[in-house]
């Protein structure tokens, strides 16, 4: 038994914001109440801290199987725990691609053996994510996937997307799409705009994303399926999501911490600023923040994309896309959204808990009988992030050396303390 | 007094004083090109590494000759013979070069920012000899020297740059340089190579897709090379380019009668420029080449010699 005392409990599901204790018994929450006592229980003093439901990351890359030089399930989930996440959804672009039940099972088993947090795999939509035949989606669902995606690239064609959505609708799985029009993308390496012009780097127009988001929303309307727009970075895509929600379509979206923090103006010849989708214009960034605040965006997701140092220590246009994100996500949310008053603390917690849970068709709350997954964080703790001290195998982040106010202080997964600062 | 630059990576971050300093330093080297004996001992014993990761003839020969006329030795690395083909990373290749102890690395690369990337990691002065679609600083310096020579001053001219602005490192460097000297710059080319964002490169840039409009009143016309590899993209028909953007004698009449015609080369006669204009009295194409030597000598002297900026000019030693 573990008793968490003296904390400020924030539970978006019940709209609770109060001084309440939580008693965990094994893998479940036993009791929630004021001034609880439990003789014999271990005590966690959460004085000055916020106790929230376990944070969920809808979008990450754990690189196992196949790219263990960059990350493994063990190191990735350790980093996730340090970032306050109790469950992470890993994208299927491993080697081999997670397009079969056997790969899914391998991930699930490895996570059970070596994972610090829960790992919920996302299966490929198409075989090898090649955009041709459907992957074995139902078999993967039986093995444990929570969604499908060809992430890294969009579901290749509108026709394939229709088939995937129809099929996943029957299986009650959300389809997560990496929205991008390949012909407009055209080998670009950053957002097209004044900065790409100045740096002489090939630009990707914002419409590359919004055109594909528009396509997907149309097909969500055609099929009635659950569509989730991954790592949304443009106002154009956000407008499609807003319109879809207004029509009652089951369309959700996520935004990454780097997209609500940085803009294309921050890009320099440093491959830690290279990710896909690329950092957006200031106008798009501000629109995303408005979307996070008003509910048009459902979740903050990290798109944690580790790459080992040698692969990033190259010319900008030759570097792979992606940055790590687990350990800075919560701190960026607090520093960039809550402290400046753009998003309330309760709303931030929603974006990490009930929001992503709803995308997956789950609930997330602190109540007796619920899984004992909790994220305990501080909104005042001052610290500096050092990439070299990260638990991830890779250190490709633009936030190395950044000072923060607020941090995850403890991550509790199934009643066990997976991380404590 | 001007501080020695650690590198020359681009024009954008230079001040007009620094640019003027280089142009002034180039002056005696221009005269020097007319000497029968074109060899100084200034950089004797020094080594300049020429790392050309992208095919180049003119710029490579120009830098190599500049180094040699200063008395320096050169080490040459060319894309064709480099280990990059064998999968070695850029940083390993240049570290290998650095281990041979050159005093400077002159670098051309098809990736924008590659010289900056190398400069950040190496302890040797790096000269950008053209990086991707970013900058080509020595080209802009030699163009500025040519304009200043011919027109007496660099200040305040109407400059028209004609061609594929979007993909041109020559255009970027020239825009950055000339705008520091009060030029009124007009950018002209096919619309898809002239996006609205080009206006953000410097204050007061004018943008038009109509060549006639762009040429009116121009004091200097800079014609850019048409990269035929780009024209083969689904972008533009060659015939259309010629029809709309070739600098013809008739079009040149719209410019000031004493307007200069410049071209960074290599030039394709009959495509971006009419042969009669290329060879005409207003053309400074060959002067640009000679001035390139002078500018590169001044630059290498500055970066490699370690001499104070107020030291006597090497040609006067």
- Whether B67 and B300 have beta carbons less than 8 Å apart is answered as yes
Q: Which of A57, A284, A303, A379 is catalytic?
A: A303
- Return the residue matching tokens 């003296």: A6
Longest dimension (CA), chain A: 66
**Side-chain half-sphere CA neighbours of A295 within 13 A:** 7
Phi, psi of B37 (to 5 degrees): -105, 105
pLDDT, tens digit, 9 for 90 and up, residues A310-363: 999 999 999 999 999 999 999 999 999 999 999 999 999 999 999 999 999 999
pLDDT, tens digit, 9 for 90 and up, residues A147-169: 999 999 999 999 999 999 999 99
Fold of B16-136+289-304: Rossmann fold (3.40.50)
Domains B16-136+289-304 and B137-286 share a fold: yes
Q: Which residue of A has its CA nearest to B136?
A: A200
Do the bridges between strand A403-413 and strand A374-384 make them parallel or antiparallel, or are there none, so unpaired?
antiparallel
The rounded Cα A203 to chain-centroid distance in angstroms is 25
Number of Cβ within a 10 Å radius of residue A42: 11
Chain B contacts of A200, Cβ < 8 Å? 112-113, 131-135, 169, 172
- Whether B138 and B164 have beta carbons less than 8 Å apart is answered as no
Phi, psi of B98 (to 5 degrees): -60, -35
Of B238, B242, B240, B217, nearest in space to B228 by CA: B238
- CA distance linking residue A11 with residue A20, whole number of Å: 11
Q: How far is CA A71 from CA A122, A162, A271, in A?
A: 17, 33, 18
- Return the residue matching tokens 């520091």: B180
Helix (H) or strand (E) holding A79: helix A73-82
User: Taking residues A181-199, what's their average pLDDT?
Assistant: 96
- CA distance linking residue A384 with residue A403, whole number of Å: 4
Span(s) in chain A for CATH 3.20.20.140: 55-359
Burial class (CB in 10 A: 0-12, 13-18, 19+), A225: buried
The interface pTM score, or ipTM, of the predicted complex is 0.94
Chain B contacts of A269, Cβ < 8 Å? 112-113, 116-117
Q: Which residues pair with B221 in a beta bridge?
A: B160, B261
Residues in chain B: 317
Confirm whether A303 is a catalytic residue: yes
For chain A, percent of residues with pLDDT exceeding 70: 100
CATH of domain A55-359: 3.20.20.140
Q: Where are the alpha helices (DSSP H) in A295-418?
A: 309-312, 329-332, 345-352, 354-359
Question: What pLDDT does B183 receive?
Answer: 97
Span(s) in chain A for CATH 2.30.40.10: 2-50+371-420
Question: What pLDDT does B312 receive?
Answer: 87
- CA distance linking residue B44 with residue B63, whole number of Å: 16
Say whether residue B169 is in contact with chain A using an 8 A CB cutoff. yes
Which segments within A142-238 are labelled E, that is strand?
Answer: 147-148, 175-177, 190-191, 203-204, 227-229
pLDDT, tens digit, 9 for 90 and up, residues A349-378: 999 999 999 999 999 999 999 999 999 999
Say whether pLDDT at A306 is over 90.
Answer: yes
Burial class (CB in 10 A: 0-12, 13-18, 19+), A65: middle
Q: Which of B197, B198, B203, B230 to mutate to test the interface with A (most CBs of A within 10 A)?
A: B197
Structure tokens, A123: 């299966």
Query: Domain coordinates of chain B in residue numbers?
Result: 16-136+289-304, 137-286
Say whether pLDDT at A99 is over 70.
Answer: yes
Non-local CB neighbours of A29 within 8 Å, separated by 6+ positions: A22, A23, A366, A367, A368, A369, A370, A371, A372
Question: What pLDDT does B185 receive?
Answer: 98
Chain A contacts of B200, Cβ < 8 Å? 194, 197-198
B112–A197: do the CB atoms touch at under 8 Å?
Answer: no
> Distance from B316 to chain A by nearest Cα, in Å?
39
Question: What pLDDT does B307 receive?
Answer: 78
Question: What pLDDT does B155 receive?
Answer: 96
Q: How far is CA A99 from CA A61, A226, A307, B217, in A?
A: 15, 20, 22, 64
Say whether residue A159 is in contact with chain B using an 8 A CB cutoff. no
Of B133, B201, B197, nearest in space to A193 by CA: B197
**Contacts A–B by Cβ distance under 8 A:** 58
pLDDT, tens digit, 9 for 90 and up, residues A204-227: 999 999 999 999 999 999 999 999
Which segments within A347-388 are labelled E, that is strand?
Answer: 374-384
Composition of chain A by helix, strand, coil, percent to 5: 35, 25, 40
- Whether A116 and A417 have beta carbons less than 8 Å apart is answered as no
Q: How far is CA B118 from CA B140, B230, B255, in A?
A: 22, 28, 42
Q: Give A 259-278 residues with CB within 8 A of chain B.
A: 269
Q: How far is CA A228 from CA A147, A153, A231, A251, in A?
A: 9, 14, 10, 6
- CA distance linking residue B310 with residue B317, whole number of Å: 13
- CA distance linking residue B190 with residue A151, whole number of Å: 36
Say whether residue B79 is in contact with chain A using an 8 A CB cutoff. no
- Whether A51 and A5 have beta carbons less than 8 Å apart is answered as no
Number of H helices, E strands in chain A: 14, 20
Q: Which long-range contacts (CB under 8 A, 24 or more apart) does B303-306 make?
A: B303/B4, B303/B5, B303/B7, B303/B8, B303/B104, B303/B125, B303/B127, B304/B43, B304/B46, B304/B48, B304/B70, B304/B72, B304/B103, B304/B104, B304/B125, B305/B42, B305/B43, B305/B46, B306/B4
pLDDT, tens digit, 9 for 90 and up, residues A246-302: 999 999 999 999 999 999 999 999 999 999 999 999 999 999 999 999 999 999 999
Say whether pLDDT at A39 is over 80.
Answer: yes
Q: What is the SS3 assignment for B207-229?
A: EECCHHHHHCCCCEEEECCCCHH
| pTM of this structure | 0.95
- Whether A111 and A73 have beta carbons less than 8 Å apart is answered as yes
Chain A contacts of B12, Cβ < 8 Å? 198
Structure tokens, A192: 């097209």
Q: Which residues pair with A252 in a beta bridge?
A: A228
Give the single-character DSSP code of A134: B
Burial class (CB in 10 A: 0-12, 13-18, 19+), A82: buried
Tens-digit pLDDT string for chain B (317 aa) = 578 899 999 999 999 999 999 999 999 999 999 999 999 999 999 999 999 999 888 999 999 999 999 999 999 987 665 556 678 899 999 999 999 999 999 999 999 999 999 999 999 999 999 999 999 999 999 999 999 999 999 999 999 999 999 999 999 999 999 999 999 999 999 999 999 999 999 999 999 999 999 999 999 999 999 877 666 565 688 899 999 999 999 999 999 999 999 999 999 999 999 999 999 999 999 999 999 999 999 999 999 998 777 788 988 86
Name the class of domain B137-286. alpha beta
Q: Which CATH number fits domain A2-50+371-420: 1.10.10.10, 3.30.200.100, 3.40.50.720, 2.30.40.10?
A: 2.30.40.10
Question: What pLDDT does A353 receive?
Answer: 98
């Amino acid at each position: 038994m573990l008793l968490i005392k003296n904390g400020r409990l924030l539970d978006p599901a019940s709209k609770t914001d109060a001084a309440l204790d939580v008693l965990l018994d094994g893998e479940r929450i036993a009791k929630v109440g004021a001034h609880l006592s439990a003789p014999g229980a271990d005590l966690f003093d959460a004085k000055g801290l916020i106790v929230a439901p376990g944070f969920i990351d809808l979008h990450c890359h754990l690189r196992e199987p196949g790219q263990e030089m960059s990350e493994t399930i063990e190191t990735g989930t350790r980093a996730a725990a340090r970032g306050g996440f109790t469950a992470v959804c890993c994208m299927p672009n491993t080697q081999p691609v997670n397009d079969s039940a056997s790969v899914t099972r391998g991930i699930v088993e490895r996570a059970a053996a070596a994972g610090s947090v829960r790992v919920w795999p996302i299966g490929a939509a198409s075989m090898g994510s090649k955009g041709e035949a459907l992957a074995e989606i139902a078999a993967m669902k039986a093995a444990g996937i929570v969604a499908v995606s060809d992430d890294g690239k969009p579901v290749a064609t509108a026709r394939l997307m229709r088939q995937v959505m129809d099929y996943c609708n029957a299986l009650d799985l959300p389809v997560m799409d990496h929205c991008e029009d390949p012909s407009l993308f055209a080998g670009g390496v950053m957002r097209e705009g004044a900065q790409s012009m100045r740096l002489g780097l090939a630009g990707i127009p914002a419409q590359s994303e919004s055109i594909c988001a528009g396509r997907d929303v149309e097909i969500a309307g055609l099929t009635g399926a659950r569509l989730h727009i991954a790592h949304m970075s443009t106002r154009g895509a956000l407008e499609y999501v807003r319109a879809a929600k207004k029509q009652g379509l089951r369309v959700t979206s996520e935004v990454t911490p780097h997209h609500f923090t940085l803009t294309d103006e921050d890009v320099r010849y440093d491959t830690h600023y290279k990710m896909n989708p690329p950092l957006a214009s200031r106008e798009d960034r501000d629109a995303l923040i408005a979307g996070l605040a008003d509910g048009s965006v459902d979740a903050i997701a990290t798109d944690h994309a580790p790459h080992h140092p040698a692969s990033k220590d190259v010319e900008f246009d030759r570097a792979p896309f992606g940055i790590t994100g687990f350990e800075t996500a919560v701190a960026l949310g607090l520093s960039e959204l809550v402290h400046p008053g753009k998003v309330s603390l309760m709303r931030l917690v929603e974006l990490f808990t009930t929001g992503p849970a709803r995308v997956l068709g789950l609930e997330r709350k602190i109540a007796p009988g619920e899984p004992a997954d909790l994220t305990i964080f501080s909104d005042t703790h001052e610290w500096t992030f050092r990439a070299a001290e990260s638990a991830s195998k890779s250190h490709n982040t633009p936030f190395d050396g950044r000072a923060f106010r607020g941090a995850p202080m403890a991550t509790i997964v199934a009643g066990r303390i997976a991380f404590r600062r | 007094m001007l501080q020695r630059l650690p590198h020359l990576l681009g024009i954008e971050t230079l001040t007009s004083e620094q640019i003027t300093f280089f142009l002034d330093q180039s002056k005696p080297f221009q005269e020097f090109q007319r000497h029968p004996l074109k060899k100084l001992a200034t950089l004797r014993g020094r080594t300049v590494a020429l790392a050309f990761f992208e095919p180049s003839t003119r710029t490579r020969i120009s830098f190599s000759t500049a180094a040699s006329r200063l008395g320096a030795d050169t080490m040459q690395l060319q894309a064709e013979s480099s280990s990059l083909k064998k999968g070695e990373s850029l940083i390993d290749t240049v570290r290998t070069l650095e281990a041979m102890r050159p005093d400077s690395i002159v670098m051309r690369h098809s990736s924008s920012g590659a010289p900056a990337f190398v400069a950040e990691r190496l302890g040797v002065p790096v000269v950008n000899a053209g990086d991707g679609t970013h900058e080509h600083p020595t080209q802009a310096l030699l163009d500025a020297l040519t304009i200043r020579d011919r027109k007496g001053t660099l200040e305040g001219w109407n400059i028209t740059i004609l061609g594929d602005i979007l993909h041109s490192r020559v255009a970027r460097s020239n825009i950055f340089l000339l705008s520091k000297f009060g030029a009124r710059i007009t950018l002209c080319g096919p619309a898809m190579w002239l996006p609205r964002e080009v206006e953000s490169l410097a204050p007061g840039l004018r943008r038009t897709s109509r060549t006639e409009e762009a040429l009116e009143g121009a004091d200097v016309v800079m014609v850019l090379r048409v990269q035929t590899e780009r024209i083969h993209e689904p972008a533009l028909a060659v015939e259309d380019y010629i029809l709309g953007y070739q600098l013809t004698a008739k079009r040149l009449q719209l410019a000031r009668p004493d307007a200069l015609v410049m071209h960074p080369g290599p030039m394709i006669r009959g495509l971006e420029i009419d042969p009669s204009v290329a060879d005409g009295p207003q053309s400074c194409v060959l002067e640009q080449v000679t001035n390139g030597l002078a500018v590169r000598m001044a630059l290498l002297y500055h970066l490699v010699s370690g001499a104070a900026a107020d030291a006597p000019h090497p040609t006067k030693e």
